[in-house]
């Protein structure tokens, strides 16, 4: 095998609670990750030596700061005999969108390289590499459509997804910086119980599995919404429009800026998308489903 192409799906945070602030500046959290069909593609081709990364996004760094490049450097160090690769990344997931695009790219490039070069690397070592790259990377390495995560997002438990859901995403190319969102988080020293929040997330997941989105919405939270609202006032305005049109489950994903509405059917998502045509909107609409 000289080449392969892998899909690199996005994720939504259906639920996100910040539990406490750690002495090292990081935050303990609890989230419910959910893979969706919006995806980038990564084409990997063997070359005699060296590394080359190209992409369809001119603003995306392809040098040493890119997570795909960092994965290759780590593998090169671990497997010195490994050959070179040419990588073409075709992005559909926006940058700074709260959809985990960069983390997904890193994880699926790592899995693709393992397969292409038949690298002898254990799941434990894969996850250790993932944790060093970013908190969301382990979820994408996990063979799961949905998972509950805690710690800094790297402690994972597979969660049955149930019946697939449909989503209307509102996306913008004006992304939010995750670090700035966390820095804007008003922290009053409160600490939430991990055990209690896990129980709430399981109840939420149970409602979603049965397509009872309206009941699930009463339990769903995202503690990063308020700081994101301060940085991008268009987000709460758009969310208010969706709720005003009676979307049953509306949240922001991750640290933003993507907003999503969850539905039990494609028809419901399409109907709302059509109704939004009458509203002046600074967001791009995308319909997708559970992946």
* Catalytic residue ranges: 11, 136
Q: At 117, phi and psi to the nearest 5? A: -100, 5
Burial class of residue 4 (count of CB atoms within 10 Å of its CB; 0-12, 13-18, 19+): middle
Contact (CB, 8 A) for 259 and 238: yes
> What is the DSSP pairing of strand 84-90 with strand 51-55?
parallel
Tokens of 178: 């995750």
Half-sphere exposure at residue 123, Cβ-oriented, CA atoms within 13 angstroms: 5
Residues contacting residue 25 through CB under 8 Å, at least 6 positions apart? none
Contact (CB, 8 A) for 117 and 83: yes
Tokens of 282: 């600074």
Cβ burial 82-121 (10 Å sphere, 16+ → b, else e): beebebebebbbbebbbbbbbbbbbbbbbbbbeebbeeeb
- DSSP notation for 53-94: EEES-TTS--STTSHHHHHHHHHHHH-TT--EEEEEEE--SP
> What is the DSSP pairing of strand 51-55 with strand 155-158?
unpaired
C-beta neighbour count of 224 within 10 angstroms: 26
Q: Which of 19, 39, 4, 48 is nearest to 224 (CA)?
A: 19
């Amino acid at each position: 095998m000289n080449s392969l192409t892998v899909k690199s799906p996005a994720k939504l945070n259906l639920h996100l609670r910040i539990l406490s602030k750690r002495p090292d500046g990081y935050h303990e959290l609890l989230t419910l990750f959910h893979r969706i069909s919006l995806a980038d593609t990564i084409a990997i081709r063997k070359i005699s030596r060296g590394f080359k990364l190209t992409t369809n996004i001119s603003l995306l760094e392809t040098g040493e700061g890119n997570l795909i490049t960092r994965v290759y450097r780590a593998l090169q160090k671990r497997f010195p005999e490994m050959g070179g690769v040419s990588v073409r990344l075709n992005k559909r997931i926006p940058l700074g969108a709260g959809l985990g695009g960069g983390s997904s790219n890193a994880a699926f490039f790592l899995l693709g390289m393992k397969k292409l070069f038949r690298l002898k690397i254990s799941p434990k070592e894969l996850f250790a590499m993932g944790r060093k790259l970013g908190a969301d990377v382990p979820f994408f390495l996990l063979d799961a459509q949905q998972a509950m995560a805690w710690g800094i997002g790297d402690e994972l438990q597979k969660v049955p997804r149930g019946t697939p859901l449909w989503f209307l995403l509102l996306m913008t190319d004006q992304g939010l910086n995750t670090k700035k969102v966390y820095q804007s988080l008003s922290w009053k020293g409160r600490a939430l119980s991990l055990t209690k929040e896990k129980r709430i997330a399981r109840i939420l997941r149970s409602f979603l599995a049965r397509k009872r989105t309206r009941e699930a919405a009463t339990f769903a939270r995202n503690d990063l919404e308020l700081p994101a609202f301060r940085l991008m006032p268009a987000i709460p305005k758009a969310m208010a429009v969706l709720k005003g049109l009676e979307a049953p489950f509306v949240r922001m994903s991750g640290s933003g800026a993507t907003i999503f509405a969850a539905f039990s059917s494609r028809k419901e998502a399409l109907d709302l998308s059509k109704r939004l045509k009458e509203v002046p909107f600074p967001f791009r609409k995308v319909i997708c489903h559970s992946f």
